[in-house]
Structure 1
Amino acid sequence: MHVLGVWVAALLVLVEALFFAGLGAALSLVTRLRGWPVLAACCWVGVEYAYSRVPFGGFGWTRIAYAAVDTPLAGFLPLVGVAGVSFLVALAGQLVAWLVLTLRHRGLTTAVGIRRLAVVAAVLVLLVGAGAGLRQWQTDPQPEAAGELQVGVVQGNVPGRGIEALGRARTVTTNHLAETVALMTRARLGLVPVPDFVLWPENSTDIDPYRDPVTRQTVQNAAEVAGVPIMVGAVTQGPGAGERQITALWWDPDRGETARYHKQNLVPFGEWIPLRKQLLPLLPILSKVGAQSVPGTEPGVLPVQAGGRDVVVGDVMCFELAYDRTVYGTLRAGAEVLVVQSNNATYGGTGQIEQQFAITRARAMEARREIAVATTNSVSGVIDRSGRVVQRTNEFTAASLVTALPLRSSLTPAVLVAPWLDRGLAVAGLLACLLTLRQPRHRHSAPSEVR
């Protein structure tokens, strides 16, 4: 966030730190109870549940499951989802803490110390072993799909870096036209497969093609050059005066737009301004946000024609990757292929780029779906259903590729049960805290499982 201003980063850190202060308080309460490592892990999930929703829709990009994509515990993602893996990671940490406290107070040579060392070791071996086994199973030959689509992924690149990359919108659109021409040239020379549709990133045009004839013609030219539909990331005006929407447009070379999706989860202070009337006079820098974005209300599915058949394309846009409800809703609404459109240009050169790609990998494992990712200037690429990175682009470059996305309709247990697991674990943590508040107070002592 420092690219927008150090004060912005400091303010966000302060807000998020309040949740972890609450977590510290919760942990100090539940450690009075028997079985507190499990309850403490529930508290971790509860805090993630809270900061993924408030304030202003939440900032859920820091959930600990996203940091576990290259660990054995990631094998549980298709079964218990992001919330469940966060619980398992937290549980492993709390068990180690329980063991350390036990050894500090009892010593390793006591019967209690030996017994608890054995319990912790057994649980950790079970978690790691089961997770590793599941990951291995996920890399085995994949089941047959109901066909596939060849998808062209275009990363057109943008002029400038950091906050200056927000400008020069017409150049960004022209860059994506140019890279589409380069991609189709390679395809017609037989160097890559001919795509069934081309995926442009979020904000590949920041100018509404329905309000600007030059932009409209640029998009139309790209579709005609490709000879196949292009999924364009656009900023469209409306629905009201002074409002806009972040939109995916399915643009057919012969019929123009045939389907669209409006981004549901918008970036606070990036795409919309909370308390706009009150804050804008106090913080003039917020004027750079522009018109107030309005969220969409429908799942990110586009029923379209591609490759000579009817197909449902599922779309997740950038910030939406952190929101379980949005990702799961897209899959449950019938998405047969899954794509991600993103604009990371503002955060080039920061950790945000790899962070988002790791989240995308977690979503691929969770849904057991291949994902094609198109960004304005990185990281674009392809992730298989086991979370393995098949192809990826370099930062600050123009690039394009073609990948096969199998058509799939099955849903994993995670997509079906993880929302309930998320709520259930959060409620369990809250009830444990309330239970301790009802107990009579005693003088300070070590956690109950150590005493």
Structure 2
Amino acid sequence: MSLVASLVAGGLLALAFQPFGLWFTAPLGVGLLCWLSRQARVRRVLWSGFAAGLVMYGVTVSFEYVVDWWLPLLLVPVLALWVGLIATVQRLVQRLPLWPLWAAAAWTAVEACAQRFPLGGFAWDRLGFSTADAPFGGYLWVLGTAGTGFVVAVTGTLLLAALDGLAGTRRRVGRVVTPLVVAALVLAGGVVLRAVPVTATDEGEVTIAVVQGDVDGSAGPHTMGYARSVTDNHVSETIMAMARARTGLDPMPDLVLWPENSTDMDPNTDEQTRELIGRAQSIAGVPILVGAVTDGPGADERQTTALWWTAAGETDRYAKRNAVPFGEYTPMKDLVFALVPMARQVGRQTVPGTEPGVIDGELNGGRVLSVGAIICYELAFDATVYDTERHGGQVMTVQSNNATYDGTMQPLQQFSITRIRAMEMRREIVVSTTSSYSGLIGARGEVIARSTPGTAYAQSFTVPVRSGTTPAMTVGPLCELVGVALVAAGAVAGVIVGRARRRETDR
């Protein structure tokens, strides 16, 4: 029975994320997992959480099979262990007063750990990422993803508390009504916060041309094909973007945005690639933010970068800070290569950047624009994303290469996370991908324009230039710290209370 319930809990949690988007199943999954954590034996609780995690992540990150068949077999069980830990912690803290708060904090604390350990963490499926279309999404600009995830979790634990009241024999009405009223107020608060208008800006506007060159091939690690053909495609779509602007279909751009991996050849060292980008820049007559794989800093190393490219060449750059384990670099590579020789397909090892993702570039006319640059996988990591706003990014861009995952659920998941980030920062986000979902997301997370996967696409968007930060940039990290502290103290208190109860029972 507990195994079936565990599988159902994992399924409910998975359904909250894209491509399903059934946000209301997340609190139900949280509540069911919390109920399962009441089993007598710790081993059974851990197993229940692990089984739920296997289903949750087995569904939502199954797309990793296109990189190599063995990758989800490695990744999913590791991630499932975190869900097992959540269940184990909840078993302890449910012995405390106001246990729904403690049990919800377990999600916040464990998610904070999971996005950091091991190997830099994997932050893809967090409760807060399920809220783009939910009432809970109103909390994003105030509490951040971490705090909003807590709100989702506490709604689930409050529902369980209400069910406990139905099963109880004393003060039944109060024990049922109180948690339900609190849960309703939580939902209402989210609706109210969603309605708060985005503060108007008086710092002008900038027009950005999005270019999606498209690539040939089917899903898999070799989708990008020949590096120069991909760059050729983006040159062609840049011509299309300028044709649309010069014929009045779109506004004339101040900047052209190319996606991640629009060239896998370093234009600073490869003359032919430099000529291709130079040709596109000459046709556009404005700077291009190029997504490039650049050489170095060491031998047999590379970096995934955003290059501000003008007629004079590169004038500023940002290097991706969160590299994909086993996709862009191989952890413990000597051991991994010995055990899994196919892991050598990663090739040159990516070296993460260390600076915040803000590029200062000069537009035509001498105007300097600070661009918040986020590259693909980094979207899942709070610190990296928040730094773009905290360090002065005036417009936000996402460059991504999802070609490897064409036909899987990954591109939709990533686009949904991008919407979450727009809602947190209350900033428009301009998105350019090689072949999936490019376009414009509004400051409330609304989809203003979105391309069709597997097609070439070019369109210009005029967006406000903004400054300042939202409360989420400060409150979100604080929610994680408080969650970890509460859960650590709560787990200790739960152990003490449990021992005291056993002593009383033994007397």
TM-score (norm 1): 0.94
Aligned amino acid, residue 104 of structure 1 = A
Deviations 1:354-386 (A, max 9, x none): 111111111101001000000110111101101
Aligned mate of 2:368, from 310, 316, 323 = 310
Where in structure 2 are the equivalents of 1:69-84 lying within 5 Å? 69-84=132-147
Q: Establish whether residue 208 from structure 1 lines up as the match of residue 208 from structure 2.
A: no
* Equivalent of 1:346 in 390, 404, 408: 404
Higher RCO, 1 vs 2 (CA within 8 Å, ≥6 residues apart) = 1
Within the alignment, does 1:135 sit opposite 2:205 as a pair? Answer: no
Counterpart secondary structure, 2:448: strand
Q: Runs of 4 or more off by more than 6 Å in structure 1? A: none
Note if 1:174 corresponds to 2:225: no
Structure 2 counterpart of 1:368, from 408, 422, 426: 426
Residue 172 of structure 2 aligns with an amino acid whose one-letter code is G
Partner of 2:354: 297
Distance in 2 (CA, whole Å) between partners of 1:223 and 1:78 is 36
Aligned residues: 437
The SS at the match of 1:408 is coil
Instruction: Assess, with a 3 A threshold, how the Cα gap between structure 1 residues 114 and 307 changes in structure 2: closer, same or farther.
Output: farther
RMSD over equivalenced CA pairs, Å: 1.4
Question: Which residue of 98, 120, 127 corresponds with 2:179?
Answer: 120
Q: Is the 8 A contact 2:390 2:468 kept in 1?
A: no
Could you tell me which amino acid in structure 2 is paired with residue 234 of structure 1? A
Q: What residue number does 2:92 align with? A: 29
Distance in structure 1 (CA, Å) of the matches to 2:282 and 2:218: 31
**SS of residue matched to 1:302:** strand
**Structure 1 contact 340–374 (Cα < 8 Å) conserved:** yes
Q: Which residue of 2 aligns with 1:328?
A: 386
SS of corresponding position for 1:165: coil
Quickly say closer, same or farther: Cα 1:73–1:49, change in 2 above 3 A.
Answer: same
1:144 and 2:207 are equivalent in the alignment: no
Please say if 1:223 is aligned against 2:286.
no
Structure 2, gaps ≥5 residues long? 1-63, 503-507
For the residues of structure 2 that align with 1:295 and 1:199, how far apart are their CA atoms?
22
The residue aligned with 2:489 is 431
Q: CA deviation at 1:100?
A: 1.3
Task: Give the CA deviation at 1:307.
Answer: 4.9
SS state of the match for residue 439, structure 1? helix
Match of 2:313 among 226, 234, 256: 256
Q: Work out which of the residue numbers 443, 453, 463 in structure 2 matches 1:405.
A: 463
Q: Deviations along 1:315-346, whole A, 9 cap, x unmatched?
A: 01111111111111111111111100111111
Matched-pair contact (CA < 8 Å) for 1:151–1:403: yes
Q: Identity across aligned pairs (percent)?
A: 45
2:57 corresponds in structure 1 to none
Q: Output one character per residue of 1:56-82: Cα deviation in whole Å (capped at 9) or x when no partner.
A: 110101001111110111001111100
Aligned 8 A contact 1:149 1:307 in 2: no
User: Does structure 2 retain, via aligned residues, the 8 Å contact 1:43–1:430?
Assistant: no
Q: Does 1:356 find its partner at 2:419? A: no
Match of residue 447 from structure 1:
none
Q: Indicate if the aligned counterparts of 2:164 and 2:176 stay in contact, CA closer than 8 A.
A: no
- Aligned match of 1:280: 337
Alpha-carbon distance in 1 for matches of 2:319, 2:414: 20
Measured after TM superposition, the shift of residue 442 of structure 1 is: 6.4
**1:102 Cα deviation from its structure 2 partner:** 2.6
Provide structure 1 residue ranges, at least 5 long, that are not aligned to the other structure. 445-451
1:2 to 31, 43, 65: 65
- By how many angstroms is 1:431 displaced? 1.4
* 1:396 maps to 2:454: yes
Partner of residue 53, structure 1: 116
Give how far 1:347 is off. 0.8
Pick from 140, 157, 172: which aligns with 1:94? 157
1:448 aligned partner: none
CA distance in 1, matches of 2:250, 2:276: 24
- Which residue pairs with 2:218 in the alignment? 161
Q: What is the Cα deviation at residue 101 of structure 1?
A: 2.3
Offset at residue 440 of structure 1 (A): 4.8
Deviation at 1:285, TM superposition (A): 1.4
Distance 2:470 2:276 in 1: 40
1:298 offset after TM fit, Å? 0.4
Q: Which amino acid aligns with 1:94?
A: T
Given residue 103 of structure 1, which amino acid in structure 2 is its aligned partner?
L
For each residue in 1:165-202, what CA deviation from the matched residue of structure 2 results, as whole angstroms up to 9, or x when unmatched? 14321111111001111111111111111100000000
Q: Distance in 1 between matches of 2:168 and 2:497?
A: 24
Distance 1:260 1:115 in 2: 59
State the Cα distance separating 1:417 from its structure 2 match.
2.5
Secondary structure in 1 aligned to 2:195? helix
